[in-house]
């Protein structure tokens, strides 16, 4: 998984922005419960009065309060007596509480000085008890600190009323200001959350693009051996579904890795410092319950997560096989059987998905039940504490919010712990492709072709075996294909003809001996340089979606139309191209499914001819052509390839009768070499193949040509 995450370095700026915004969002979210507590406790319960020390008080009330304490001097040193014209600071405070019309000359009042927080706390400790005794009387010392504070603030309110302060306005202003601050913080949190989601989605999408690009480029570098190791269906799943799993994880990963710990730890610290920590044990109960539920689901569902990706591979493979082989399936009336095969793979995937989804769907209701139960527990315990005077209602509400934040943080971590293993499986599958080294790769220092041996192909004691095979497919292959001449390979099915020509462009590497092209070992030149001089027409004609023009000009988009049309003419493709509504602009469907086999082969041949390479390789590329078209094509091709090397793999004798050299293969070995006439006289294998297709008269007349 870490290897995949290293690709995030390309998005480091966005990641940094996400981290900063998550910290800001976490800070704002942790601040909101405090405002809830203040609005309930101070705004509603205390009437907007924050401290148990009056900011303005009449001289008469102050003297009455000082009657109940011996700390007269310590209390009075925090106040200033206003007897005449007030100072600017005093006037500001008087206007706030009493209005501009208040006459300080007639009414002597004390105004609280601008105190530090520590000084204010000391003052509250000194004045609270006498303030309560003056207002309500009774044994103040027997009151709890919480009740004493509430009583002191109620006394401050009464003092304000005595002085003529509009306490309703004071309360409304406090609630309004706190509410606006709360809305501002919530707005900041919302903006951060939206921006985080946008940035996270962008980072996830960019990571997906990077991974798809890496996987695709790696697959393009694979030789046929690696492509056999990874099935086509599996490579498609890895490039799509597996990368999608990574994207979904990254989209929420930052919130879990950064936001959840800040909220969880910050919320717990707030609980211990800002409210009655005697209820902190409830948070522990909530966390244990959540971990228990998630742990059970984790154990039950995790093995199925690992199985899901393999089942998707299987379904893709079956689907691809059925769609590709649809004509054969219909020809043998096996639609029912294939439907059953697809249905089995589909049901296996469905059952696993249903099991996982059921398990996951149970998790949310259970967790919501736990959260609701915890809320009820907090209210139950908190209500008793409120009743006993050890806790205020606002603090209980804040505690509920902090608890929910902590629980949600653990819930997010639990969710990611379930998503992470599935994404880890996908990451492993992606890394398997990216980390696979192609068995065929260029050397660090490559050689250039010898211009004096242009088009020369030499097999020198070549042998070959497929990866993990026990026996050699080819043994001791020795022959030379020269420019200006046609070299043909023929033999029974499975004799190794296609394997021989696949070695020339290095679709496979020889496992023994050497293969030289243009006077250089093919392993010593770059694959690009090697394939640039080869025009290869595979056994199965492959066309790409686009137009006839784009397929013929595949080697070079800037190719002239004259060169394209000449290639089509040589390949005997103009006849059916001219009959198309849009001629060369006529569309070609994916895989060339809208053209016949013969047309597909002719377009494939035209594509190779248009490239004008040094070496032409035709791997049984005339099999779908009728004899007349085959004859015309070879005749036109002979003129085009007068100075080129032509290597033909053929099943039909008529295709290679006029070849300059015919190589006869049997069970991976050369059992004959020479012209048609020489082989008819000296090679029994060739003679049997020839007579199985044509009569003596046709062979002697070279197929009637």
pLDDT tens digits, residue range 578-604? 888 888 888 888 777 788 888 888 888
Q: What SS3 state is found at 249?
A: helix
**pLDDT value of position 701:** 59
**pLDDT value of position 473:** 87
Q: What SS3 state is found at 164?
A: coil
> Is residue 559 classed exposed, middle or buried when 0-12, 13-18 and 19+ CB atoms within 10 A define those classes?
middle
Q: pLDDT tens digit string along 237-270?
A: 888 888 888 888 888 887 777 888 888 888 878 7
Residue 492: pLDDT band with limits 50, 70, 90: confident
Q: 356 is written with which tokens? A: 């996982």
Q: What SS3 state is found at 112?
A: strand
Which one has a higher pLDDT value, 489 or 540?
A: 489
**pLDDT value of position 31:** 87
Produce one character per residue of 391-407: b if its CB has 16 or more CB atoms within 10 Å, e if not: bbebbbbbbbbbbbbbb
42 has pLDDT over 80: yes
Q: Quote the CA–CA distance of 237 and 344 in Å, as a whole number.
A: 19
φ, ψ for residue 671, nearest 5 deg: -115, 0
The overall average pLDDT reported for the chain is 83
Residues 6+ apart with CB under 8 A from 351: none
The answer to whether residues 385 and 396 touch, using CB atoms and an 8 Å cutoff, is: yes
Q: Quote the CA–CA distance of 76 and 65 in Å, as a whole number.
A: 11
For residue 45, the number of C-alpha atoms closer than 13 Å in the C-beta half-sphere is: 22
Q: Give the range with max mean pLDDT: 101-110, 296-305, 689-698.
A: 101-110
Could you tell me the domains of the chain? 2-20+192-435 (1.20.1560.10), 38-174 (no CATH), 445-533+651-692 (3.40.50.300)
Q: Quote the CA–CA distance of 153 and 151 in Å, as a whole number.
A: 5
Which one has a higher pLDDT value, 175 or 362?
A: 175
**pLDDT value of position 399:** 83
Residues 6+ apart with CB under 8 A from 367: 290, 293, 411
> Is residue 202 classed exposed, middle or buried when 0-12, 13-18 and 19+ CB atoms within 10 A define those classes?
middle
Q: 389 is written with which tokens? A: 């005077």
Q: What SS3 state is found at 84?
A: coil
The answer to whether residues 461 and 521 touch, using CB atoms and an 8 Å cutoff, is: no
628 has pLDDT over 50: yes
Q: List, in sequence order, every residue forming a beta bridge with 463; answer none if it has no partner.
A: 512
- Nearest-Å Rg of the Cα atoms of the chain is 44
Q: pLDDT tens digit string along 187-233?
A: 999 999 899 888 888 888 888 888 888 888 888 888 777 777 777 77
Q: How far apart are the first and last CA of the chain?
A: 66
**pLDDT value of position 705:** 44
Q: Quote the CA–CA distance of 518 and 497 in Å, as a whole number.
A: 21
DSSP 584: G
Q: Mean pLDDT over residues 472-484, rounded?
A: 89
Q: pLDDT tens digit string along 63-79?
A: 888 888 888 888 889 88
DSSP string over 440-503? S---SSPPPP-GGGTT-EEEEEEEE--TT-SS-SEEEEEEEE-TTSEEEEEESTTSSHHHHHHH
SS (H, E, C) 588-629: ECHHHCCCCHHHHHHHHHHHHHHHCCCEEEEECCCCCCCHHH
The answer to whether residues 648 and 486 touch, using CB atoms and an 8 Å cutoff, is: yes
Q: Quote the CA–CA distance of 553 and 547 in Å, as a whole number.
A: 10
Handedness of CA 414, 418, 421, 424 (dihedral sign): negative
**pLDDT value of position 704:** 43
Q: Quote the CA–CA distance of 651 and 497 in Å, as a whole number.
A: 10
* Residue among 158, 185, 227, 254 nearest 32 (CA): 185
Q: Quote the CA–CA distance of 93 and 110 in Å, as a whole number.
A: 11
Q: 491 is written with which tokens? A: 């033999």
Q: 559 is written with which tokens? A: 């190719």
């Amino acid at each position: 998984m870490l290897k995949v995450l290293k690709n995030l370095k390309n998005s480091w700026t966005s990641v940094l922005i996400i981290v900063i915004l998550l910290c800001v969002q976490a800070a704002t979210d942790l601040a909101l419960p405090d405002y809830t507590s203040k609005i309930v406790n101070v705004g509603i319960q205390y009437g907007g009065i924050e401290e148990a020390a009056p900011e303005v008080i009449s001289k008469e009330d102050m003297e009455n309060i000082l009657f109940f304490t011996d700390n007269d001097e310590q209390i009075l040193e925090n106040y200033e007596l206003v007897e005449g014209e007030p100072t600017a600071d005093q006037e500001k405070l008087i206007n706030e509480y009493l209005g501009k019309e208040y006459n300080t000359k007639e009414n002597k009042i004390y105004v609280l000085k601008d105190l530090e927080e520590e000084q204010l706390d000391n003052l509250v400790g000194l004045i609270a008890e006498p303030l309560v005794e003056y207002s309500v009387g009774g044994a103040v010392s027997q009151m709890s600190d919480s009740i004493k504070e509430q009583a002191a603030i109620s006394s401050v309110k009464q003092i304000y009323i005595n002085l003529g302060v509009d306490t309703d306005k004071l309360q409304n202003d406090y609630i309004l200001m706190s509410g606006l601050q709360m809305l501002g913080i919530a707005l900041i949190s919302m903006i951060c959350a939206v921006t985080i989601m946008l940035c996270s989605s962008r980072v996830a999408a960019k990571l997906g693009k990077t991974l798809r690009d890496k996987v695709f480029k790696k697959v393009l570098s694979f030789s046929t051996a690696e492509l056999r190791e990874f099935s086509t269906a599996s490579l498609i799943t890895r490039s799509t579904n597996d990368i999608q799993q990574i994207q979904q994880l990254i989209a929420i990963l930052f919130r879990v890795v950064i936001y959840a710990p800040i909220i969880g730890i910050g919320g717990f610290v707030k609980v211990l410092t800002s409210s009655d920590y005697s209820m902190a044990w409830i948070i522990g109960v909530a966390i244990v319950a959540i971990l228990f539920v998630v742990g059970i689901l984790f154990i039950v569902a995790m093995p199925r997560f690992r199985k899901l990706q393999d089942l998707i591979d299987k379904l893709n493979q079956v689907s691809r096989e059925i769609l590709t082989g649809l004509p054969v399936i219909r020809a043998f009336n096996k639609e029912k059987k294939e439907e059953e095969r697809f249905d089995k793979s589909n049901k296996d995937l469905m059952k696993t998905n249903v099991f996982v989804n059921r398990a996951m769907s149970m998790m949310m209701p259970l967790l919501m039940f736990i959260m609701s139960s915890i809320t009820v527990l907090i209210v139950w315990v908190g209500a008793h504490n409120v009743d006993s005077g050890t806790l205020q209602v606002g603090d209980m509400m804040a505690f509920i919010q902090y608890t929910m934040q902590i629980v949600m943080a653990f819930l997010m971590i639990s969710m990611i712990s379930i998503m992470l293993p599935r994404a880890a499986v996908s990451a492993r599958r992606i890394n398997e492709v990216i980390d696979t080294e192609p068995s065929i790769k260029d050397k660090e220092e490559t050689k250039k072709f010898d211009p004096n041996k242009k088009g020369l192909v030499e097999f020198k004691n070549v042998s070959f075996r497929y990866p993990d095979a026990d026996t050699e497919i080819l043994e001791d292959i020795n022959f030379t294909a020269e420019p200006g001449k046609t070299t043909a390979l023929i033999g029974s099915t499975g004799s190794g003809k296609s394997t021989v020509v696949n070695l020339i462009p290095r679709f496979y590497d020889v496992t023994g001996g050497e293969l030289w092209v243009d006077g250089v070992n093919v392993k010593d030149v770059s694959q690009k340089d090697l394939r640039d001089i080869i025009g290869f027409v595979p056994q199965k004609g492959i066309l790409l979606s686009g137009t006839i023009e784009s397929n013929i000009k595949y080697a070079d988009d800037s190719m002239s139309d004259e060169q394209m049309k000449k290639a089509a003419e040589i390949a005997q493709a103009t006849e059916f191209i001219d009959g198309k509504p849009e001629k060369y602009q006529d569309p070609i469907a994916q895989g060339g499914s809208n053209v016949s086999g013969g047309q597909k082969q002719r377009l494939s041949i035209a594509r190779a001819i248009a490239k004008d390479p040094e070496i032409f390789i035709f791997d049984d590329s005339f099999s779908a052509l009728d004899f007349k078209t085959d004859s015309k094509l070879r005749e036109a091709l002979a003129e085009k390839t007068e100075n080129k090397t032509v290597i033909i793999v053929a099943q039909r004798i008529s295709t290679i009768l006029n070849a300059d050299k015919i190589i006869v293969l049997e069970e991976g070995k050369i059992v004959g070499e020479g012209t048609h006439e020489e082989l008819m006289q000296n090679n029994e294998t060739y003679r049997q193949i020839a007579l199985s297709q044509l009569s003596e008269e046709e062979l002697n007349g070279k197929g009637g040509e």
